[in-house]
């Protein structure tokens, strides 16, 4: 397949849908770690029972089952909410149908959460609000037994083959103990590049406000270890597939060229999920044959297949501002938050999405963080750490954060739903320059028990 044909495929799949957008809706996804307070592995039998009871109580329908016949995803046909598990049965995910009003989502989330907690608490289990499961060392790190998640875990486990090429950590199971708060927002084609640009500039500041991923017991210098876990794994084997745009595309043509540099590592042929060596898109489509592996009858088998244009549907990039085939940008760099502050993430984005020009002006004029001898990627790496660097003037940083929160608040006030109240915890974080991860690290350093924050971060 020629390069221009591939570019046209990318345009049709990712750019074309943005031409159809008129209003901004949000698709909110909340992932939450499940904990067995007995300091044992999560009881999967309890989780399967919970799923059935949730289905019956809220009138959800079965969306999919795993290969053992256990329900792994439910859907409400009225709201389009999806109840599922992310990578393993150690992490619950609730993905809400697209909405305009954040309080509509908040109300449903609280109803679901209260019901789930009531069932889990009776068996000394709980949900909580951490970006890394604080009891991960007790859990069974087994992928959900289905094609997609088994393939993903198998792919991550191939890191051992590439140690000499790239610095890779030895935690291929990381997807089974990390949790995020993500949002997809509709974007119009004229706003696509400006939105990617300005929200990319925000990434260092988001690390300051939202970091909540501490690898308890190791890497305590990191307040947001999720970046490291993704980047130094097979998901980051090709750096273009993960994290920041570097450089940030300045036009749709540049965005397509950037996407051409990303890699494909999986597909599905004849009902078989296949993974293979990450291959840059043009090189993938130039090949007559691709060698890969698939799972069947309890073991992995080698397979050779012919690339086809539909394989592009299996491109898996994990950019912090990720353009999807739905005509949305998925914002995916934020950790799961303490439960009673989880809507801060979505209010932050919703408040700023229609304030692109004003936000750009604030960031372009700033000298506290920006206009210094650091790239955006370098700044993000600096600010996912637990402690602020010496070159930062704290007073000016607080002012910058509050100016951005004020702009988000104005954007929410214009919507007329009083959603600006959801930003209050972020003002507190900006004034104290303390995110949930830093609070946890200080708590542990002072001799506090993690169980105290498991309870606190899990309260509605």
403, 370: one domain = yes
> Which one of 279, 314, 349 terminates a domain?
314
Task: Examine residue 85 and state whether it is found in any structural domain, yes or no.
Answer: yes
94, 192: one domain = yes
Pairing of strands 242-243, 318-319: parallel
360, 297: one domain = no
Number of structural domains (the chain) is 2
Task: Examine residue 153 and state whether it is found in any structural domain, yes or no.
Answer: no
331, 399: one domain = yes
351, 225: one domain = yes
> Which one of 282, 297, 314 terminates a domain?
314
Beta bridge partners of 91: 33
Does residue 133 contact residue 35 with C-beta atoms inside 8 Å? yes
State the Cα–Cα distance between residues 130 and 335, nearest whole angstrom. Answer: 7
> Which one of 280, 295, 314 terminates a domain?
314
267, 343: one domain = no
Say how many residues make up the chain. 460
Does residue 18 contact residue 325 with C-beta atoms inside 8 Å? no
222, 289: one domain = no
303, 400: one domain = no
**Which region holds residue 144: left if phi is over 0, alpha if psi is between -120 and 50, else beta?**
beta
181, 58: one domain = yes
Task: Examine residue 447 and state whether it is found in any structural domain, yes or no.
Answer: yes
Domain range enclosing 84: 24-144+162-247+319-457
Task: Examine residue 357 and state whether it is found in any structural domain, yes or no.
Answer: yes
Task: Examine residue 413 and state whether it is found in any structural domain, yes or no.
Answer: yes
357, 429: one domain = yes
Position 219 scores a pLDDT of 66
The structure tokens listed for 49 are 């029972």
State the Cα–Cα distance between residues 448 and 215, nearest whole angstrom. Answer: 16
Tokens 């043509």 correspond to 253
276, 373: one domain = no
333, 281: one domain = no
State the Cα–Cα distance between residues 43 and 162, nearest whole angstrom. Answer: 35
CATH code for the domain in which residue 332 is found: 3.30.590.20
Task: Examine residue 56 and state whether it is found in any structural domain, yes or no.
Answer: yes
Q: Backbone phi, then psi, for 452, in 5-degree steps?
A: -65, -40
Q: How confident is the chain (460 residues) per 10-residue block, as mean pLDDT?
A: 94 94 88 98 98 98 98 97 98 96 97 98 98 97 96 95 89 97 95 96 97 83 95 95 94 97 96 95 96 94 96 95 95 97 97 95 92 90 94 95 98 96 98 97 94 97
| E strand or H helix at 155 | helix 147-156
3-state secondary structure of 449: coil
CA 113 to mean position of chain CA atoms: 20
Task: Examine residue 18 and state whether it is found in any structural domain, yes or no.
Answer: no
The structure tokens listed for 364 are 């372009």
């Amino acid at each position: 397949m020629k390069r221009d044909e591939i570019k046209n495929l990318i345009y049709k799949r990712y750019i074309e849908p943005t031409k159809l957008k008129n209003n901004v809706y949000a698709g909110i996804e909340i992932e939450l770690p499940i904990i067995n307070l007995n300091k044992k592995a999560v009881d999967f039998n309890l989780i399967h029972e919970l799923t059935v009871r949730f289905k019956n109580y809220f009138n959800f329908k079965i969306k999919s089952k795993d290969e053992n016949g256990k329900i792994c995803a439910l859907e409400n046909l009225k709201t389009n909410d999806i109840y599922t598990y992310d990578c393993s049965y150690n992490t619950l995910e609730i993905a809400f149908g697209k909405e305009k009003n954040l309080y509509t989502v908040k109300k449903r989330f609280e109803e679901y959460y209260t019901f789930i907690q009531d069932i889990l608490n009776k068996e000394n289990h709980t949900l909580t609000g951490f970006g890394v499961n604080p009891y991960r060392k007790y859990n069974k790190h087994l992928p959900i037994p289905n094609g997609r998640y088994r393939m993903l875990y198998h792919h991550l486990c191939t890191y051992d083959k590439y140690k000499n090429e790239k610095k890779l950590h030895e935690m291929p199971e990381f997807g089974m103990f990390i949790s995020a708060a993500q949002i997809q927002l509709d974007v119009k084609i004229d706003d696509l590049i400006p939105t990617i640009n300005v929200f990319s500039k925000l990434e260092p500041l988001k690390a300051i406000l939202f970091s909540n991923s501490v690898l308890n017991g190791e890497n305590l210098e990191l307040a947001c270890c999720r970046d490291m876990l993704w980047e130094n794994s097979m998901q980051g084997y090709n750096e273009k597939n993960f994290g920041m745009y570097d450089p940030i595309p300045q036009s749709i043509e540049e965005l397509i060229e950037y996407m051409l540099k990303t890699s494909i590592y999986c597909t599905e042929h004849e009902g078989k999920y296949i993974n293979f060596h990450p291959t840059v898109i043009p090189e993938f489509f130039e090949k007559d044959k691709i060698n890969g592996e698939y799972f069947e009858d309890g073991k992995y088998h080698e397979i050779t297949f012919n690339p086809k244009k539909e394989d592009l549907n299996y491109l898996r990039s994990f950019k912090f501002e990720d353009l999807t085939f739905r005509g949305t940008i998925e914002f995916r760099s934020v950790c799961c938050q303490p439960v009673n502050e989880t809507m801060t993430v979505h209010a932050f984005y919703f408040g700023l999405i229609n304030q692109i020009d004003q936000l750009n002006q604030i960031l372009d004029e700033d000298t506290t963080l920006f206009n210094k001898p650091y790239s955006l990627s370098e700044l993000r790496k600096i600010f996912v750490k637990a402690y602020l660097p010496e070159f930062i003037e704290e007073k000016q940083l607080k002012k910058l954060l509050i100016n951005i929160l004020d702009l988000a608040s104005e954007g929410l006030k214009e919507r007329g739903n009083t959603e600006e109240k959801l930003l209050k915890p972020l003002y507190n974080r900006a004034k104290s320059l303390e995110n949930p991860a830093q609070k946890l690290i200080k708590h542990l350093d002072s001799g506090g028990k993690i169980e105290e924050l498991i309870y606190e971060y899990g309260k509605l």
